[in-house]
Amino acid sequence: MRHRLAGTALTLLASAANAGTLPVETTDLTIGFIKLTDMAPLAIAYEKHFFEDEGLYVRLEAQANWKVLLNRVISGEIDGAHMLAGQPLAATIGYGTKAHIVTPFSMDLNGNAITVSNAVWELMKPEIPTGADGKPVHPISAAALRPAIDAANAAGKAFNLGMVFPVSTHNYELRYWLAAGGLNPGVYASGDAKGQIDAEVLLSVTPPPQMPATLEAGTIAGYSVGEPWNQAAVFKGIGRPVVTDEEIFENNPEKVFGLTEAFVEKNPNTTLALTKALIRAVAWLDAGNGANRAEAVEILSHSAYVGADAEVIAGSMTGTFAFGKDDVRPAPDFNIFFRDHASYPYISDAVWTLTQMRRWGQIPEAKPDSWYDETARSVYRPAIYEEAARLLVAEGKAQAEDFPFGSDGYKPATDAFIDGIDYDGRKPNDYLAKFPIGLKGDETVTSAGVQG
């Protein structure tokens, strides 16, 4: 199959005859992404001409890292981007770079895992029960890391794990897993970007494509990342995934499509057109119980997109996940793009991310429940998503029953977490109070530790 690929920067040329039904304010757009498989909605919207159908000239451009990507959206160098779910929220509340970023579209659910080195795995194995088939019973608790942490400490070394960015879901999932296993991942103080105060396990930022090499070099003992970088460790024989984020938090929010509020206000029809194209892309990705995934894998393997071997990408994208070369398991929900309303920007998903920012000190002081709702609604824009979906239904390009029209933005309460703690997005402070590790109530952090 021939693809419309043109190196690392891609330019889509659409003629006026292909214009969609919306009078877009601007037709020339540059959209950024990081080389991960969950950028797939952008690649598919490009390759399947969904942007073109909306009269948009789109250039897809890989970015060096999440910080560069965010800064270039804020500066206007790029118009929008594949973002970590926490990035628009953090920017809007002023954690790190201050800017009002919004999202009308959730790019996927799930998609991450936690991988450890072979040496750490060997120390973990005696702590993990096995099933009748002789394979480890999942989900694996972080408590199994204790022998590896003790061994590192006995050797006078810290136990270090990598994650992709301080406000990434990878950071929050890794911290959640560690804390659920009784291990303290540390907290952030005001102005502190490391989050290692009171930590038993030290977490640090490593760019996703560099994680396998950093693990192999022994700089980190493991990492939390999206695909294909967990499966790459298996294929290279340098590490072992031990838990997926679906096992930590079932159907957790992962990436979003981010734009500045100024862009959305200036270009409302263009924003709708982009959202329409992305909805069509995720619907294509999940159509026919994954019938299109093999083609998606071929597309993503090209250097312009993810640039990893198709064999490495294929497992998680086509319904399996390798915890080891000898332990390949069905994983039909590892990447969800459209079904289960995956692309709808739920307010409760944003609130969950904010609770984790508060839990680990990135939000330094207590906030009322109303603040969580108001902040989430200032960033997540389900009204834009619903308008785009209604236009697609009217055009015969989507089915009304596939969308949660009229939702209040909150999913039902759920206890689908590795620790079984119940989450109700309408009661974030009650939720925080349930955790034995992490900030709650009026607690604050100084360099001396947790106060209050």
CA-CA distance, 102 to 20, in Å (whole number)? Answer: 24
Give the Cα-Cα-Cα angle 183, 197, 169 (nearest 5 degrees): 65
pLDDT digits (tens, 9 = 90+) for 210-258: 999 999 999 999 999 999 999 999 999 999 999 999 999 999 989 999 9
Q: Can you read off the two tokens belonging to residue 408?
A: 């209040």
pLDDT, position 191: 82
Q: In what order do the strands lie in the sheet with 255-260?
A: 9-11, 57-62, 28-33, 80-84, 255-260, 101-106
Q: Can you read off the two tokens belonging to residue 179?
A: 């804390």
Q: What are phi and psi of 175, to 5 degrees?
A: -65, -40
CB 37 within 8 A of CB 232: no
Residues with Cβ within 8 Å of residue 384, at least 6 apart in sequence: 104, 264, 271, 272, 275
CB 250 within 8 A of CB 369: no
197 pLDDT more than 80: yes
CB 285 within 8 A of CB 339: no
Residue type, 252: N
Residue type, 14: A
364 pLDDT more than 70: yes
37 pLDDT more than 70: yes
pLDDT, position 267: 98
The dotted CATH code for 9-110+253-319+334-402 is 3.40.190.10
* The CATH number of domain 112-249, selected from 2.60.40.10, 3.40.190.10, 3.40.50.720, 3.40.50.920: 3.40.190.10
448 pLDDT more than 90: no
Selection from 86, 38, 91, 88 nearest residue 296 by Cα = 38
447 pLDDT more than 80: no
| Cis amide linkage into residue 139, ω under 30° from 0 | yes
CA-CA distance, 174 to 118, in Å (whole number)? Answer: 18
pLDDT, position 10: 43
Residues with Cβ within 8 Å of residue 32, at least 6 apart in sequence: 60, 61, 62, 63, 69, 72, 73, 78, 80, 81, 82
pLDDT digits (tens, 9 = 90+) for 385-420: 999 999 999 999 999 999 999 999 999 999 999 999
CB neighbours (10 Å) of residue 448?
Answer: 9
Say what percent of the chain tops pLDDT 70. Answer: 96
Same fold, 9-110+253-319+334-402 and 112-249: yes
CA-CA distance, 401 to 344, in Å (whole number)? Answer: 13
pTM: 0.94
Q: Where are the domains of the chain?
A: 9-110+253-319+334-402, 112-249
CA-CA distance, 333 to 328, in Å (whole number)? Answer: 15
CA-CA distance, 275 to 384, in Å (whole number)? Answer: 8
Residues with Cβ within 8 Å of residue 332, at least 6 apart in sequence: 290, 319
pLDDT, position 6: 38
Burial class (CB in 10 A: 0-12, 13-18, 19+), 329: middle
* pLDDT interval class at 449 (50, 70, 90): confident
Q: What is the mean pLDDT of residues 165-174?
A: 96
CA-CA distance, 383 to 417, in Å (whole number)? Answer: 29
pLDDT digits (tens, 9 = 90+) for 133-146: 999 999 999 999 99
5 pLDDT more than 50: no
326 pLDDT more than 70: yes
Query: Bigger pLDDT: 34 or 13?
Result: 34
Query: Bigger pLDDT: 2 or 208?
Result: 208
pLDDT digits (tens, 9 = 90+) for 68-125: 999 999 999 999 999 999 999 999 999 988 999 999 999 999 999 999 999 999 999 9
Residues with Cβ within 8 Å of residue 329, at least 6 apart in sequence: 138, 320, 321, 322, 323
CA-CA distance, 371 to 363, in Å (whole number)? Answer: 12
CA-CA distance, 72 to 445, in Å (whole number)? Answer: 31
| φ/ψ bin of 409: left (φ > 0), alpha (ψ from -120 to 50), beta (otherwise) | left
CA-CA distance, 359 to 351, in Å (whole number)? Answer: 12
Mean pLDDT over the full length of the chain: 94
Q: Can you read off the two tokens belonging to residue 138?
A: 């999942």
Residue type, 369: D
Residue 342: beta bridge partners? none
